[in-house]
Chain A
Amino acid sequence: MSIYFLCLVLLSIGVYCILRKRNLIKIVIGLGIIEYAVNLFFILVGYRMYGRAPILARSEEILNMVDPLVQALVLTAIVIGLATTALIVAIAIRIYEKYGTFDITKINKLKG
């Protein structure tokens, strides 16, 4: 149970980071924390205590195995997260070139 709670704490740290930080790069890091908290939760969903990899061998019987499906899904999610992060960091760098700052409160041309 406590491990799920820690996962929630990680998620909250990410949300806090996005909502409160003013530096663009820190916001991107916050986004990464959120993504990893969700991925971690997804892995925990399929985890079994003392489980093992579900590889079927002759002469062996697997009693307690980890769900492999969620691991495949999380790998996909990580790749998607990587693409998003790379794109957002690229945009942040271009913003720095245009505005000369990473401070989100000074990047405010769009209003209304």
Chain B
Amino acid sequence: MLPLFVAIPLAAAFIISLIGKRYQRAGDVLANLSSLVLLALSFFAFLSLNSHSSNILVYKVGGWIPPIGICMVLDGLTSFMLITINLVSCLVTIYSISYMEKYTSKYRFYSLFMLMLAGMNGVIITGDMFNLFVFLEIASIASYALVAFGTESDELEASFKYAIMGSVASSFILLGIALLYSYTSSLNMADISAVLAVKGDSNIVGFISVLFLMGFGLKAAIMPFHAWLPDAHPSAPAPISAMLSGIFIKTLGIYALLRIFFNVLGVSSTLLFLLIILGIISMSAGAFLAVGQRDIKRMLAYSSISQIGYIIFAVGIGTPLAIFGGLFHLINHAIFKSLLFLNSGAIEYSTKTRDLDQMGGLGKHLPLTGYTSLVGSTSISGIPPLSGFWSKLIIIVAAIQAKYVGFAVIAVLISILTLAYYLKLQRKAFFGELNKRWEKIKEVPLSMRLSMVILSVLCIIAGLILIPGLRGFIQQAVDVILVGKQYAGIVLGAVQ
């Protein structure tokens, strides 16, 4: 079952690029079908994981025993991330049916999209360092091409910047893997962890940690490495912005950091404190930069940096409650940020502009976009009954419990600032006087409305994950992170 997560999107990408030119509808049908199947599969994987006694499934690629061959691992964290990714990507493919009509060669879009999905699923599911690098590069290369998909001047510029920075980051990750291989003579994550436990710590592990922090930190757009994100995310077509901001930076950045630091290299208090500082910097700087933006997608992109800061901050605190809050915020952010980017795409679809100053009163003509965007905005700024409130509350409570009161206060203040710039977005775009230019615009097509409504409903009900029966969904992911370096024993034990 596990290889299907990579095989299905790869096969879809191949077939779409092969027959997409002749049969125009093939791209729509195949991409939606395969993303639906992937969503069903990830739920099935979650259920079969829970029915399994040891809570871990290991697939040996080609039948080779893991320390020698490549293995794919399904555990709590993996199945949590798989559901997040495939949920968002399924809704985004439904959205793109109508949205991508205005671009030529739509089938190429789907082909690249499926390639990116294959890369992301691969990063999540693999248990091998070099395999992780390969999937990371597949996803990255597809995303460089997707950012430049419109081939207008600013899209190309953003894509070039992103591609150069991303490739340098990948090179540093490869350098880290080379050093790790030279130290442990293994590429299997569980085996590396086991060897490191025997060999003990040395300076080289610290150096490798820094290389990985730099490489994956750039992919996650943590603050000092964020420069590509505010250019790349707004320039991409709206479904891709939603994918990139919603799940791409979390998969390639945060998931990889969590897996490598907690389960493979092991965390030290210095590293955790560094993560807290980076999180605080990203959270505040992202929010302050977002306030002044006029371009709606650029504002959302800076807001992504800020919210990623919250997740990194929560992970840095390192207590079980904080990690729970961080992962809860991760899935919440995946839902509401992709919703908000899809809303901005709907606005752009109807009005052909992204400038907030030129909008106004769009709520009258785009009621559904207006309401769903209101749900997304209030959720991200932490208004009580919605999901964003609960995850931020857990993070802040965890910070206070861990005696980081000062940082908790900063997190609260930034949350208020978030509310401020989302209120600005709502007021300028959907409320107020209707700009005369937009008298004739109509609500967007059905497929776009459908995915926006589903996402906003998810936004409202995602808070329910906290009730005890459903909490296990996140709790099992937290457990995987908390076992730390015993991960090696669990994976290698599951093989025999």
Q: Which residues of A contact B (CB under 8 A)?
A: 15, 18, 24, 27-28, 31, 34-35, 38, 41-42, 45, 69-70, 73, 76-77, 80, 83-84, 87-88, 91-92, 94-95, 98-99, 107-110, 112
Contact = CB atoms under 8 A, between A and B. Distances in A.
B460 interface: no
Contacts of A95: 153, 156-157, 160
Contacts of A84: 137, 141, 144, 163, 167, 170
A84 B169 CA distance: 13
Interface string B170-185: 1100110010011000
Q: Among the interface residues B145, B148, B160, which one has the most CB atoms of the partner chain A within 10 A?
A: B160
A109 B159 contact: no
B168 interface: yes
Contacts of A109: 153-154, 157
A42 B298 CA distance: 39
A110 B137 contact: no
Given A42-B178, A45-B182, A95-B160, A112 B298 contact: yes
Given A109-B154, A110-B158, A45 B178 contact: yes
B431 interface: no
Given A38-B178, A87-B141, A107 B157 contact: yes
Given A94-B148, A109-B153, A38 B164 contact: no
B157 A80 contact: no
Given A73-B130, A91-B148, 7 more contacts: A31-B171, A42-B181, A76-B134, A88-B160, A94-B151, A110-B158, A110-B235
Contacts of B160: 24, 88, 91-92, 95, 107
B75 interface: no
A28 B163 CA distance: 10
B153 A98 contact: yes
A87 B178 contact: no
A65 B259 CA distance: 33
B191 interface: no
Interface string B296-318: 00100000000000000000000
Nearest to B145: A87
Nearest to A111: B231
The SS class assigned to the B binding surface is helix
Q: Among the interface residues A31, A38, A69, A110, which one has the most CB atoms of the partner chain B within 10 A?
A: A110
Interface in B120-158: 130, 133-134, 137, 141, 144-145, 148, 151-154, 156-158
Contacts of B145: 87
Nearest to B186: A69
Contacts of A94: 148, 151, 156
Contacts of B293: 112
Contacts of A41: 175, 178
Interface residues of B, number: 37
Nearest to A45: B182
A110 B167 CA distance: 20
Given A91-B148, A95-B153, A110-B154, A38 B171 contact: yes
Contacts of B141: 80, 83-84, 87
Contacts of B171: 31, 34-35, 38
A34 B163 contact: no
Contacts of B164: 18, 27-28, 31, 88
A4 to B, nearest CB: 11
Contacts of B167: 31, 34-35, 84, 88
Nearest to A15: B168
Nearest to A27: B164
Nearest to A43: B178
A76 to B, nearest CB: 6
B186 to A, nearest CB: 10
A101 to B, nearest CB: 11
Nearest to B144: A87
Contacts of A92: 160
Contacts of A18: 164, 168
A77 B134 CA distance: 8
A10 B187 CA distance: 25
26 contacts: A28-B164, A31-B164, A31-B167, A31-B171, A34-B168, A35-B171, A38-B174, A45-B182, A76-B130, A77-B174, A80-B134, A80-B137, A80-B141, A83-B137, A87-B144, A87-B163, A91-B159, A95-B153, A95-B157, A107-B160, A109-B153, A110-B154, A110-B161, A110-B231, A112-B295, A112-B298
